Amino acid sequence: MDWSFFTEVLVGGLLSGVMYSLVAIGFVLIYKTSGVLNFAQGALLLFAALTFVSLTERGLPFWAGIALTLAAMTAIGALIERTVLRPLVNQPPITLFMATLGVSYVIEGAAQLLWGTQVHGLDLGIDDLPLEIGGVLISTFDLFAAAVAGAMVAGLTLFFRYTRIGLGFRAVADDPLAALAVGLSLDRIWTAVWTASGVVALVAGLLWGARLGVQFSLSLVVLKALPVLVLGGFDSIAGAIVGGLIVGAVEKLAEVYAGPLVGGGIEGWIAYVAALGFLLIRPAGLFGAKPVERV
């Protein structure tokens, strides 16, 4: 057993899992407050990356492109909540899910009309070079992505703990009816959460776009978030981080050590097998709230 190689594969998987966690966090923000599984998160991610790269290709400076894309994503998030989700309050979950599925196609169509369908390269100025730490080779870009994810999680934690809107978010997540009874505006909280989801989509979109290139298949990374959510829990940011780390590690280790036994290609589906098995043991996930059993 080459432990140095094992550690290298494991660390690479953990850092890849951080990228999955970035997508999953967008799901968690929406689901925790409204119970909506936002399938439009992948389209938001695509739209953010495509908008940024299209603006910079037209001569806009990097930070100006970031600022304009951020403004666009916050506006889109608020617009979705106001025009689609708010009129469907108290509707069955399947109705809300289908609404977000429809929104995803609308966003992809709007992106195609605005920016075209060609593939773009996205350069964030971070060279994807191997960095040797303790005899283990680690991707510089993966380290950068992990640092960005850590900063974003820290920022969200501070926001939800020390701001009025953040405290309102936590109150709505714990008990929407009680929050409404004490005078909190659910509409305002939901708008803020959808806006935050747009910001998370921007961060994830830039990182995934730099990794894979900005193309319409980029929206499919949303499927990578599903096993992460199953493992970590649909209503826990900490669960999204831990679930992403587990999925990333399982994929890389399985591909390297079990892949040769089955002809390879195991990395693409092993996470879903793990998630399915985990559903049978703990349906709420590691950090998800357990459903209350009714007598």
20 lies in a domain?
A: yes
Phi-psi region of 173 (alpha: psi -120 to 50; beta: other; left: phi over 0): alpha
109 lies in a domain?
A: yes
80 lies in a domain?
A: yes
294 lies in a domain?
A: no
- Whether the CB-CB separation of 237 and 25 falls below 8 Å is answered with yes
188 lies in a domain?
A: yes
pLDDT given for residue 44 in this prediction:
92
Dihedral of alpha carbons 278, 282, 286, 288, sign:
positive
pLDDT given for residue 52 in this prediction:
93
Please give the residue range of the domain that contains residue 161: 3-281
Dihedral of alpha carbons 156, 49, 99, 83, sign:
positive
Please give the single-letter amino acid code of residue 128.
Answer: D
pLDDT given for residue 97 in this prediction:
87
Burial label for 200, CB within 10 Å (0-12, 13-18, 19+), is buried
pLDDT given for residue 56 in this prediction:
92
pLDDT given for residue 88 in this prediction:
84
Number of domains in the chain: 1
Whole-angstrom distance, CA of residue 33 vs CA of residue 15: 28
Q: Chunk the chain into consecutive blocks of 10 residues (it has 295) and report each block's average pLDDT, rounded to whole numbers.
A: 82 88 88 82 91 91 92 90 84 87 92 88 81 80 86 83 78 71 75 85 89 85 88 86 91 88 82 89 78 46
274 lies in a domain?
A: yes
166 lies in a domain?
A: yes
pLDDT given for residue 26 in this prediction:
86
CATH assignment of the domain containing 125: 1.10.3470
pLDDT given for residue 289 in this prediction:
65
pLDDT given for residue 1 in this prediction:
65
93 lies in a domain?
A: yes
